[in-house]
Structure 1
Amino acid sequence: MADVGVRPARRADAAAVADIQIRAWRQGYRELLPEAVLAEVTGDDARKAWRERWAEAAAAPPSPRHRLLVAVASDLVVGFAAHAPAEDDPDRDPAVTAELVTLLVDPLHARAGHGSRLLAATVDLLREDGFETLITWAFERDEVLRAFLGSAGWAPDGTARDLDMGEPVRQIRLHTDIRAAAPA
């Protein structure tokens, strides 16, 4: 098996992260988002903007509790995850609730454990930072993400929202308790 792991992202990883995002969205979201919206968020202009955004996230995050991690296989970036305090959810306390902003694996490297490694590393770091709950927003029809997170103990918390993408696109909020189990 190739040398695999998870590490903090570096500014130099931004292009790979943006490219993975574009490939993963084009494949995974083609049935979930309106065609024009998907073309806009995965086009050449968007790719440049995503590269800049991910370079900034790696080099100068807003706080030490905002992190961008990358999964690597033989020194090749094959996936990434970003997390932060849940500051945009007014019903959640960002001191103890974090948000998994995104977790994507390059479709060329899917089903090799990279998503699980990214999720485990995210949870480990969040526990160290004192978080107790982890939330994320998922497209209601994203069966792949929902099944992946469900297998790791996530469940809908009853909160939903509609994004205006020329037509409403429904998202649901998923959550999981990340407090470490008490020793037996």
Structure 2
Amino acid sequence: MQLTGRAESSVRPARPTDAADIARVQRVTWRTAYRELLPAAVLDEWDDDAVAARWADSIGTPPTPGHGVLVATENGEVVGFLAHGPAELQPGEASSADGPTGELQALLVEPRWGRRGHGSRLLAAVVDLVVPTGVRRLQVWVPTADEVTAAFLTSAGWAVDGWTRALDAGTTTIHEQRWHAALVDDEGLG
């Protein structure tokens, strides 16, 4: 008789020792999901050690107390991550009437680990972290061509908020839409 093991999935704060795994998840995800979007040089000249060093620094010495990185794990292996911090206002944008806004700088799950709830667990964990600090709204910039992330955010109750931007990526321009989600309902519940 063969027993089928159950996968243990969790989310936890990242440690500097996770940096190489975070860099791997980023590389694999970008090469899989963004091959048509990002310049070939960005993907083909990827330096795992340099990217891991930047992640280790971001985790070990975040720019503000409001910045953080979470990792999703399955059976102890890092399979995804989320980086967050205070939102930056766009030129001409007023602060949200809902209260302070946080921003997801990255939300990636390695494609082979997709559709197992890791992205949803990462979103739930960041909400649990930021609501007690007073954050009442989250936002994230998503390339307009990224239909997979757009579908995921829609299913999680997020919506496009009308802001767009164009990023110069050297040999191409990446067009992004900003998505948002309110974290507290009309009765003040998270």
Do Structure 1 and Structure 2 share a fold, with TM-score over 0.5?
Answer: yes
Query: In structure 2, how many angstroms separate the alpha carbons of the residues matched to 1:57 and 1:181?
Result: 35
Q: Point out the structure with max Rg over C-alpha.
A: 2
Query: In structure 1, how many angstroms separate the alpha carbons of the residues matched to 2:115 and 2:94?
Result: 32
Is 2:10 the partner of 1:9?
no
Partner of residue 30 from structure 2, selected from 25, 29, 50: 25
Unaligned runs of 5+ in 1: none
Aligned match of 1:49: 50
Aligned match of 2:117: 113
State the shift of 1:5 in Å.
Answer: 0.6
SS across alignment from 1:55: helix
Contact 1:131/1:179, CA 8 A, preserved across alignment: no
Q: Map of 1:1-184 to 2, 5 A cutoff?
A: 1-40=6-45, 43-44=46-47, 47-87=48-88, 89-90=90-91, 91=93, 93=95, 96-165=100-169, 166-180=171-185, 182=187
Summarize the Cα distance change of 1:61–1:180 in structure 2 as closer, same or farther, 3 Å threshold. Answer: farther
Contact 2:27/2:43, CA 8 A, preserved across alignment: no
Contact 1:71/1:118, CA 8 A, preserved across alignment: yes
Deviations for 1:119-144, whole angstroms, at most 9, x for unmatched residues? Answer: 11011111111101111101001000
State the shift of 1:88 in Å.
Answer: 5.2
Percent of matched pairs sharing the same residue = 48
Deviations for 1:41-89, whole angstroms, at most 9, x for unmatched residues? Answer: xx12xx2221011101221112221110001111111110010001353
TM-score normalised to the size of structure 1? 0.89
SS across alignment from 1:116: helix
Aligned pair count reads 179
Contact 1:86/1:99, CA 8 A, preserved across alignment: yes
Q: Which residue type is aligned with residue 155 of structure 1?
A: A
Q: Name whichever of 87-96 and 126-135 sits farther off.
A: 87-96
Query: In structure 2, how many angstroms separate the alpha carbons of the residues matched to 1:52 and 1:160?
Result: 31
Q: Name whichever of 81-90 and 116-125 sits farther off.
A: 81-90
Summarize the Cα distance change of 1:71–1:151 in structure 2 as closer, same or farther, 3 Å threshold. Answer: same
Query: In structure 1, how many angstroms separate the alpha carbons of the residues matched to 2:88 and 2:15?
Result: 24
SS across alignment from 2:131: helix
- Let me know the Cα RMSD of the aligned residues: 1.8
State the shift of 1:110 in Å.
Answer: 1.2
SS across alignment from 1:21: helix
Q: Name whichever of 52-61 and 20-29 sits farther off.
A: 52-61
Q: Which residue type is aligned with residue 176 of structure 2?
A: Q
Q: Which residue type is aligned with residue 115 of structure 1?
A: G
